[in-house]
Amino acid sequence: MRKFLRLFTVVLVIVQIWTVSTQPTDGNNKLLNKSENKENSLSVILSEIQKIQLNTANIELKLKESEEIIAKQNAELENKLRLLNTEIDELLKTKEQVADYKDQVTKLQSTINIKNEEISKLKSEKEEDYLEITMLKSAAEKQNSEIEMLKNEQKENQEQMVRKSFIEMELERCKYDTMDSQHKLADLEKTLSTLQTELKYCNSWKEFFKNKLSSKDDELNDCFIKRQQISGSSIPSKILPTSCLNLTSGIQEIQLPNGNPYYVLCGSDGWMIIQRRIDGSGDFNKNLQIYVDGIGDINGEFFMGLENLHLITNATRHKLKVFIEKKEEEKEVIFEYDDFRIGNSESLYELESIGNFTGESDLNALENHVKMPFSITDVNSNNWETMNAGWWFSDYNQWLVKFLCK
């Protein structure tokens, strides 16, 4: 650009010189004038050229600055272009990633749809659970209300317990104050009961001996009359057996050791039945005198009598055989004693001996009752309320019993 401007200036000067030299001259003045004019014109041209050169320098400076700016801008543009290319590459990569993301989003959307369906289902279940929870809350509130009521009742009960404890302490103190009096009263009552029992016992035996004495008087009178009749008669007396040995089963007449005849019930093999209980129809709740003489009907339930049993068992050695029928189990139990004997009226017909036991060991009920008196309602009360009958008591009162003596 600078070379171009310099060439343009030289050409312009040559053109001006050539123009001056080619014009016609009218004279010297004219030539001089013209020469002066040309010099002036040349000065003007030179000044213009200088101006042009100055402007050219300024333009060149500006061009240089512009070139530097353009170069700088080109460098910046190149950098921007590189950055833009880099961004484009990144955008392409991003586009690919976006495409991948779109696929993932599509998959996620389908997953979200599935999850939304599950959420909807869970919401419906949650609503049901909420209703159930509401009902449970209502029940819990009701229970809490009941618990609160129970707590109030418990509090009241505790207060009542405190009051009760105080009252009990007062009562205990009162009981402690009256304890000696109660013990003394109990001792007095016990002593009174003992005296009443002894009095009753004495009165019963007094009545018994009175009746017995009267009976003996009657027997003596009967014996005296019979003796007179026998001594005045030539008819021989009837000889009776003294036991059921060699007798058939059924009711038989025997002679007691005191010489009196007596009807007994004989069993098989020579056994004499001394007591029989069948169905509980007989009344065995009797006093001492009736037990001494005998109870019941020999054809049904009966007991042969303590006095007769005493005479028989003391005349010779007898065995006692017991048949016990367990109604509930439909079972019959049998056991024996080989030396059965009872005392007289003075010993209250105590069980003097039973001998050796034969049978199951847990059935040996009379073993603990040897030397015990016969128990009846108006004399001794041993187990009377349990048995509701007189006997040397054992544990078999609930069974139907048949006693045989041989």
pLDDT tens-digit map of 45-104: 888 888 888 888 888 888 888 888 888 888 888 888 888 888 888 888 888 888 888 888
Quick one: which of 364, 303, 309, 355 has its CA closest to 335?
364
Check residue 111 and give its pLDDT.
Answer: 87
**Model pLDDT, residue 394:** 44
pLDDT digits (tens, 9 = 90+) for 243-286: 999 899 999 999 999 989 999 999 988 899 999 988 888 888 88
Tokens of 124: 């419906």
Choice among 63-67, 158-162, 191-195, 394-398 with the minimum mean pLDDT = 394-398
Q: In this structure, what DSSP letter does residue 363 have?
A: G
Residue among 404, 360, 168 at smallest CA distance from 264: 404
Indicate if the pLDDT at residue 213 is higher than 70.
no
pLDDT tens-digit readout, 295-330: 999 999 999 999 999 999 999 999 999 888 777 767
pLDDT at residue 187 tops 90: no
Rounded to whole angstroms, the Cα distance separating 233 from 238 reads 13
Name the helix (H) or strand (E) containing 404: strand 400-405
**Cα four-point dihedral sign 26, 28, 30, 31:** positive
- Tell me what pLDDT residue 384 has: 42
Sign of the torsion angle spanned by Cα atoms 380, 386, 390, 394:
negative
Q: Are 371 and 340 in contact (CB under 8 A)?
A: no
Contacts of 292 (CB under 8 A, 6+ apart): 208, 212, 305, 306, 307, 345, 349
Neighbours of 47 (CB within 10 A): 10
Predicted confidence at residue 399, as pLDDT, reads: 39
- The whole-angstrom separation of Cα 403 and Cα 320 is 7
pLDDT tops 50 at residue 378: no
Q: What is the pLDDT of residue 265?
A: 94
What is the residue type of 76? E
Q: For residues 403 and 334, what is the distance between their CA atoms, to the nearest angstrom?
A: 10
Cα distances from 91 to residues 78, 84, 88, 96, in angstroms, run 19, 10, 5, 8
Domain 240-405 sits in CATH at: 3.90.215.10
- φ, ψ dihedrals at 321, nearest 5°: -115, 130
The H or E element spanning position 219 is: helix 28-231
Question: Over the stretch 318-362, which tens digit does the pLDDT of each residue have?
Answer: 999 988 877 776 778 889 999 999 999 888 899 999 999 998 878
pLDDT (mean) for 360-375: 83
More confident residue, 37 or 218: 37
What residues does each domain of the chain span? 1-16+48-78, 240-405
| Residue 397 pLDDT | 39
- Residue 404, pLDDT score: 55
Most confident of 99-103, 272-276, 387-391, 396-400: 272-276
What average pLDDT does the segment 163-167 reach? 80
Average pLDDT, rounded, for the chain: 78
Angle at 229 between CA 224 and CA 230, to 5 degrees: 100
Whether 8 has a pLDDT exceeding 80, the answer reads no
What distance in Å separates the CA atoms of residue 13 and residue 36, rounded to the nearest whole number? 17
* pLDDT, mean of residues 108-118: 87
On whether the CB atoms of residues 384 and 377 are closer than 8 A, the answer is yes
3-state secondary structure 181-200: HHHHHHHHHHHHHHHHHHHH
Phi–psi pair at 8, nearest 5 degrees: -65, -35
Residue 17: which pLDDT band, with cuts at 50, 70 and 90?
Answer: low
pLDDT on residue 244: 93
pLDDT score of 344: 92
Whether 375 has a pLDDT exceeding 90, the answer reads: no
